[in-house]
Chain A
Amino acid sequence: MRIELEGVTIRYGERIAVSELSTSFPPGTVGLLGRNGAGKSSVLKALLGLVRPSAGRMWLVQDGRRQDFGTTRGRVGYMPERDAHLPAATGFEMVSLLGMLSGMPRRDAWRRAHEVLFLVGLEEQRYRAVAGYSAGMRQKAKLAAALVHDPGLLFLDEPTNGLDPQARADMLALVGRLARELGKSVVLSTHILQDVESVCDHVVVLEAGKVVVAGEVADLTESTGREYQLAVEPSDLELPASPAPGITVRREGPGQFTVGLVASMDTCALFAALRAAGGRVRSLAPRRRTLEQVFVTAVRRELPEARP
């Protein structure tokens, strides 16, 4: 399932939250990134039908067919950012009731509630009141509720909010499995870049209601060209800033260097320079950008104070 947004503008009175946004969320796992107030929640609200865009169209593309998003909202599962549960309901009651409200017959909703609670790892706690769950269990219960009606598309708003490191790793692993093994399209809205880097194939970065970066995570974090990360022995080895013509070296830590080579040079010259300095190579790898660097660079470019 692919979501396409075409010139979408969202206003809250006079304030424009999203301005003529045109982008697409391809199938797989997509990270929706942005600072607070960048317009992530507004885009999600519009897709969920809670806010009506003042302009633009939203489409859902499946099997080559383009459908208006408003008619296909039944196929969407949503996991809210805030703690949300049904008061006094057990995990099973909450998930099955939400399944029935999504249009499932009672018997199917009950069966499916057991299945998804088992999937998220709440099978032992499903008959306990959700109000008594830990933060991690509540996140899982919300994910089960988002999955109960078997949606093809999932919107997960900050799914790792308030989780300890182990629970966070478990949640991310589960999100990854949903896309890989169950074929769900997942839109993960978050500001935790590591979460996106670990589970998402594609990323859309919003700033001030506009897309500033969009693309495959692997492409965005690809090698920066002729820069390498070099680890050497001994760790106290000192290298000059330019050990040979066309080679620049920057010390990053004990035994760690960033090496830049001009286009005409290969790594043999680097090895020769190292041998001459009395060092040995432990590892040499092309330097990759992190998603954080991509994000910071893109956002800085858009900030008014950064513009000339």
Chain B
Amino acid sequence: MIHDWLKERSGRGAEVSGWRRSWPLAQAEFLTLFRSRWGVALFLLCLFPGLGRLVMLLIIFGVVNFGPVGLRARLQNRAEIPGLDPSRVDFYLEPVVSVMPGMVFFLLLTSLVVARTIARDRLANAMELYWTRGLSPLAYVACKWLGGWLVVASITVMVPLALWLTAGFLAEDWSLLATSAGGMARAAVGLVVVSAAWTGICLALSAICGSPNAAMVAWSMLLVGSSAVGVVLASALREPWLRSCLSLWEAGTVVVRAIAGVPQRGVSIPGACAMLAGCLIVTMLLARSRLRLEEALR
């Protein structure tokens, strides 16, 4: 016998529509990382560069007093080292836009989380379940992108902002916050834009590749390979600006610094924008052909 409560109660209540209907998919995508011990460990590991900067801030403002005397003196006399000046925006950007450690941890996070997502769904035939719920391929990709971007942004955007706010509270007065607020706002916008583009490219590769492992490898090859090509060609041709046009990572960081108003030398900002946009458009177009509705029942 089927239980009476199932017969008497209808499953359909008020219907949710629009973006609120698709939002649970983005939310589930974001929370996937935090549902396993390995995922939480990975997230904490990616916070390490930010934690390093936090320790520097604590030393600079004299909250803690440890480490070699020479290092402490250099950190506290920050005016001599522009890159370690908490009143400058690049102090907060450095943990996420530097090649080491920024790119390493970014690559670890995105290749293990974002690059696997659509390829893993395809392997489990999950699209057949999603697309027969009235969720369009576009809404599906948008939700997956939003979930993945929230994971990436929780490191790339939130860490610099958290460090900057911490510095503001550690400083003697509010002048640090007041003087750097404009630059930090622009930096946050730059980080949002670039991390969104990087996540989009990574997600598109996930849609193109046939398996999660292939997607991880493809993303790693694109990020690291393009950086290597950029470095080699820029050195060989003695044209440093080539790096920003050939390396996907370098292009992103150049765009972030440009939006934040951080002075840069030997870079091509239009070239970096073209590289980032070109990669995004090409991978999205390739992904589009792999995400047709017919694929759900293929």
Contact = CB atoms under 8 A, between A and B. Distances in A.
Interface of A: 41, 45, 48-51, 73-74, 78, 80, 82-89, 93, 97-106, 108, 112, 115-116, 118-119, 131, 145, 147-150, 177, 181-182
Contacts of B132: 48-50, 78, 80
B297 A104 contact: no
Contact of B294 (A50, A83, A85, A105): A50
Contact of A80 (B12, B129, B294): B129
Interface residues of B, number: 41
A112 B129 contact: no
B25 A97 contact: yes
Contacts, number: 114
A84 B129 contact: yes
Given A50-B294, A87-B120, 16 more contacts: A49-B134, A50-B296, A50-B297, A51-B294, A82-B128, A83-B124, A84-B129, A86-B129, A88-B36, A100-B21, A101-B22, A102-B134, A115-B11, A116-B6, A119-B2, A177-B2
B124 A86 contact: yes
Q: Which of B3, B121, B124, B293 has the most CB of A within 10 A?
A: B124
B28 A97 contact: yes
Contacts of B293: 49-51
Interface string B116-159: 00001101111011111111000000000000000000000000
Interface string B20-59: 0110110010001001100000000000000000000000
Given A51-B294, A104-B15, A150-B11, A115 B6 contact: yes
B156 to A, nearest CB: 24
Contacts of B35: 88
Given A84-B129, A98-B133, A103 B16 contact: yes
A262 to B, nearest CB: 49
5 contacts: A83-B124, A84-B128, A85-B126, A118-B3, A181-B7
Q: Which of B131, B132, B296 has the most CB of A within 10 A?
A: B132
5 closest Cβ contacts across the A-B interface? A150-B11, A84-B125, A100-B24, A103-B15, A181-B2
Contacts of B1: 181
Given A86-B124, A103-B21, A182-B6, A93 B13 contact: no
